[in-house]
Amino acid sequence: MKASAPGKIFLFGEHAVVYGKKALVTAIDLRCFADVKKRDDFRISSPIGITGLDFEKHPYISYAIKRFMEIKEIKGADIEIKSQIPVASGLGSSSAVTVSVLKALDAEFEASLTNEEIYEIARKVELDVQGIGSGTDPFISTYGGCWLIPDRKPVNIGKVYFLVINTEEKSITGDMVKKVASLRKEFPDVVDSIMSAIGGITSVAIPHLENLNNDKISKLIRMNQCLLKSIGVSSEKIDEIVMKLNSLGIPSKLTGAGGGGCVIAIGDLEKLTEVTKVFPNAFFVKPEKEGAKVE
């Protein structure tokens, strides 16, 4: 059986959400597809290569299988992955692969898991691999849509356009979250204040996104990016892209764990289209309503 799950972007609130602060996150129209067939042993095939159960090369898929087998004993499976989501880029490829594999395993082996159970397993897999994380990425991949987290409140963000520019540098979520955790250990009060400020930006931004108040959204995006930079999760490449966009009058910020990965710009379609002339690798993504599904 074949299943798919979407990637995601953080509009506001990455890292702060790890400390219980508010974040606004939407699924996007890039998906990961997992094709699972019964077999006597395990074979995983993805753009990374072909392996058996391999916790080094295919950690998310291997842990997803291990966790699934705690619920339903299986002898083996042939798992083939095709993804539209760039890997380690802040767009939720790891969670999309985890959730799509779980959804396809569920369908192939008739485990009758609910979406909430799929989310719970994917959440465990996130912790198995990264050791730390808020569970936001697996939640969005499972349910699709745009949500205020941790409230689990759906948000209607209206007709917003997102332009994504990939730095082509890898963004490793576990490493970045641990880096922030160690800064917080060194300066607990300072880092907690920054996290609260980021959560505050999310809350203030929601009505402006609903009413498409571009001027206010722009200012809030700029502030969020500065705060992310202050906790060490920007990079020279991200800063360069953000500065260039700023000089074109377009606010932008990193999305996801940072340290590399993607920059997003939110705003007016006409203005954003101009940007694609300056950044040839820029691409548009749309909010996606559908979460994990059997294809």
Q: Which of 294, 287, 290, 236 is nearest to 263 (CA)?
A: 236
Cβ-based nearer residue to ligand MEV, 14 or 108: 14
Q: By CB under 6 A, is residue 238 in contact with ligand MEV?
A: no
User: In the bound complex, what is the minimum distance in angstroms from residue 112's beta carbon to ligand MEV?
Assistant: 28
Tokens of 33: 């597809």
3-state secondary structure of 157: coil
**If binding means CB under 6 A, how many residues of this protein chain bind ligand MEV?**
12
Q: Which of 54, 106, 137, 268 is catalytic?
A: 137
179 within 8 A of 232, measured Cβ to Cβ: yes
Q: Are the C-beta atoms of residues 217 and 239 closer than 8 Å to each other?
A: no
Q: Stretches 111-119, 134-142, 239-247, 283-291: which one binds ligand MEV (CB under 6 A)? A: 134-142
Is 189 considered catalytic here? no
CB of 10 to ligand MEV, least distance (A): 6
8 A C-beta contact, residue 1 and residue 291: no
Tokens of 101: 């594999």
Helices (H), the chain: 59-69, 93-108, 115-130, 136-143, 173-186, 188-210, 214-230, 236-247, 269-278
Q: How many CB atoms lie within 10 A of CB 66?
A: 14
23 φψ region: left (φ > 0), alpha (ψ -120 to 50), beta (else) = beta
Of the candidates 139, 28, 20, which has an alpha carbon nearest to the alpha carbon of residue 91?
A: 28
Contact map string, positions 136 to 165, toward ligand MEV, x by CB under 6 A: xx----------------------------
Q: Give SS3 for 6.
A: strand
Q: Can residue 14 be called a binding residue for ligand MEV (CB under 6 A)? A: yes
- Scanning 32-40, 133-141, 204-212, 242-250 for contacts with ligand MEV by CB under 6 A, the matching segment is 133-141
- Residue 180 or 241 having the CB closest to ligand MEV: 180
Nearer to ligand MEV, 134 or 225 (CB): 134
Q: Does 108 bind ligand MEV (CB under 6 A)?
A: no
CB of 80 to ligand MEV, least distance (A): 25
Query: Quick one: which of 7, 86, 144, 256 contacts ligand MEV (CB under 6 A)?
Result: 256
Contact call for residue 96 and ligand MEV (CB under 6 A): no
Q: Which of 26, 62, 89, 134 lies at the binding interface for ligand MEV (CB under 6 A)?
A: 134
- Binding part of the chain for ligand MEV, among 11-19, 37-45, 210-218, 269-277 by CB under 6 A, reads 11-19
Instruction: Answer whether 294's CB lies under 8 Å from 106's CB.
Output: no
As annotated, the active-site residues are 137
Positions that interact with ligand MEV (CB under 6 A): 14-15, 17-18, 133-134, 136-137, 173, 177, 256-257
